[in-house]
């Protein structure tokens, strides 16, 4: 992390100021390894491989750490040579393409497919994730002057309150143990008048056709390496059939609900090899998380109302439900 990015951070325990510890490996600008110490409560937090870390190395998001370090760039536009992530980022947020001088907080950044988009706006982007997915994101963005990558917990964010113009939390809330509480913690970090965008899986009729909800109580207990290897073999074996069925009307639904294989044929403009790579990634993503808690549209509307947001829009979209709103100035 860059030394001058310390201004965004605060102690996750007591919100105190942090200082750079005495034993650091760094050059004039960049801290590679060392620690950050709280001047109020005295707690110390390590900086490891350029990333300040405020949580235990192992936690409930370990499956995501495995997933995103294995598929570090699979969903990056710069890897697929598409605009899939760019389209989703700007469609969901409706944010301008140029945000020089602004600050964005990205909560649950994973490998960084949306960090790539956020930094492209010129804004200063702080990307936080609970898992070692931060290492994958760091490999792509960690040395950019407008990027700070942090391993932290959204329930106790190591950040200064009211520091950000925009907060983005997509693909994350359903994977937390208390979804409403996870949402309720986000507005605190927005400046008055700041913009919040979230998305979350929806509960609707399709939920009942998602057979991975039946399998996940078992598969989430399988060690990640074993589960991933089994899914990889299975998808490779089934791929010719999946390819055939995917061409039928409702073929993708059949592939997902009957064979538990995520199939983006006809929906995303990817080559067959990339479709298979995304299928392996997303099948693992469906079967491995500790928590997967879809929500009702009315619940998401209530969250925004309870937070007192204005200009609220909550509607079915992308991951299930998209919600946008503005934090009141008063």
Ligand X SMILES: C[S@@+](CC[C@H](N)C(=O)[O-])C[C@H]1O[C@@H](n2cnc3c(N)ncnc32)[C@H](O)[C@@H]1O
The nearer residue to ligand X, 290 or 326, going by C-beta atoms, is 290
Residue numbers 106-135 binding ligand X by CB under 6 A: 108-110, 113-114, 128-131, 133
The nearer residue to ligand X, 26 or 59, going by C-beta atoms, is 59
CB of 182 to ligand X, least distance (A): 7
∠ CA 249-250-254, nearest 5°, is: 130
Does position 61 interact with ligand X (CB under 6 A)? The reply is yes
CB of 307 to ligand X, least distance (A): 18
The nearer residue to ligand X, 146 or 151, going by C-beta atoms, is 151
The nearer residue to ligand X, 245 or 275, going by C-beta atoms, is 275
Answer for which of 45, 54, 64, 201 binds ligand X (CB under 6 A) is 64
The nearer residue to ligand X, 211 or 290, going by C-beta atoms, is 290
Residue numbers 155-184 binding ligand X by CB under 6 A: 155, 170-172, 175-176
* Integer Cα distance of 72 and 6 in angstroms: 26
* Integer Cα distance of 9 and 5 in angstroms: 8
Chain position whose Cβ is nearest to ligand X: 110
The DSSP-derived string for 227-269 is HHHHHHHHHHHHHHHHHHHHTSTTHHHHHHHTT-----TTTS-
The nearer residue to ligand X, 189 or 239, going by C-beta atoms, is 189
44 SS3 class:
strand
CB of 231 to ligand X, least distance (A): 16
Residue numbers 208-237 binding ligand X by CB under 6 A: none
- What is the size of the binding site for ligand X (CB under 6 A)? 22
* Integer Cα distance of 207 and 307 in angstroms: 28
Terminal C-alpha separation, the chain: 34
The nearer residue to ligand X, 15 or 26, going by C-beta atoms, is 15
CB of 113 to ligand X, least distance (A): 5
Residue numbers 271-310 binding ligand X by CB under 6 A: 285
* Integer Cα distance of 305 and 212 in angstroms: 32
Does position 153 interact with ligand X (CB under 6 A)? The reply is yes
Does position 201 interact with ligand X (CB under 6 A)? The reply is no
CB of 176 to ligand X, least distance (A): 5
Binding mask 67-96 for ligand X (x = CB under 6 A): -x----------------------------
User: Interface residues with ligand X (CB under 6 A)?
Assistant: 61, 64, 68, 108-110, 113-114, 128-131, 133, 153-155, 170-172, 175-176, 285
């Amino acid at each position: 992390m860059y030394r001058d990015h310390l201004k965004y951070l605060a102690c996750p325990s007591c919100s105190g100021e942090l200082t750079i510890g005495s034993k650091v490996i760094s050059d004039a600008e960049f801290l590679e390894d060392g620690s950050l110490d709280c001047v109020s409560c005295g707690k110390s937090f390590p900086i490891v491989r350029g990333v300040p870390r405020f949580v235990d190395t192992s936690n409930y998001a370990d499956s995501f750490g495995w997933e995103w370090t294995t598929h570090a760039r699979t969903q990056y536009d710069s890897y697929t040579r598409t605009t899939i992530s760019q389209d989703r980022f700007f469609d969901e947020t409706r944010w301008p393409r140029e945000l020089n001088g602004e600050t964005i907080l990205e909560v649950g950044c994973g490998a960084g497919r949306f960090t790539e988009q956020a930094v492209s706006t010129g804004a200063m982007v702080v990307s936080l994730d609970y898992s070692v997915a931060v290492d994958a994101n760091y490999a792509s963005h960690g040395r950019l002057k407008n990027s700070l990558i942090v391993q932290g917990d959204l329930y106790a964010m190591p950040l200064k309150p009211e520091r950000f113009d925009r907060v983005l939390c997509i693909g994350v809330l359903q994977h937390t143990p208390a979804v409403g509480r996870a949402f309720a913690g986000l507005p605190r970090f927005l400046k008055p008048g700041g913009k919040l965008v979230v998305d979350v899986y929806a509960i609707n009729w399709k939920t009942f056709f998602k057979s991975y909800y039946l399998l996940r109580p078992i598969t989430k207990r399988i060690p990640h390496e074993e589960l991933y290897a089994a899914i990889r073999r299975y998808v490779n074996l089934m791929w010719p059939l999946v390819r055939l069925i995917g061409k039928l009307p409702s073929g993708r639904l059949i592939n997902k609900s009957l064979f538990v294989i995520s199939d983006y044929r006809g929906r995303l403009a990817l080559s067959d090899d990339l479709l298979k790579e995304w299928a392996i990634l997303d099948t693992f993503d469906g079967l491995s998380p500790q928590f997967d808690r879809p929500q009702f549209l009315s619940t998401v509307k209530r969250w925004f109302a309870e937070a007192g947001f204005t200009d609220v829009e909550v509607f079915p979209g992308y991951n299930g439900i998209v919600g946008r709103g503005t934090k009141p100035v008063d």
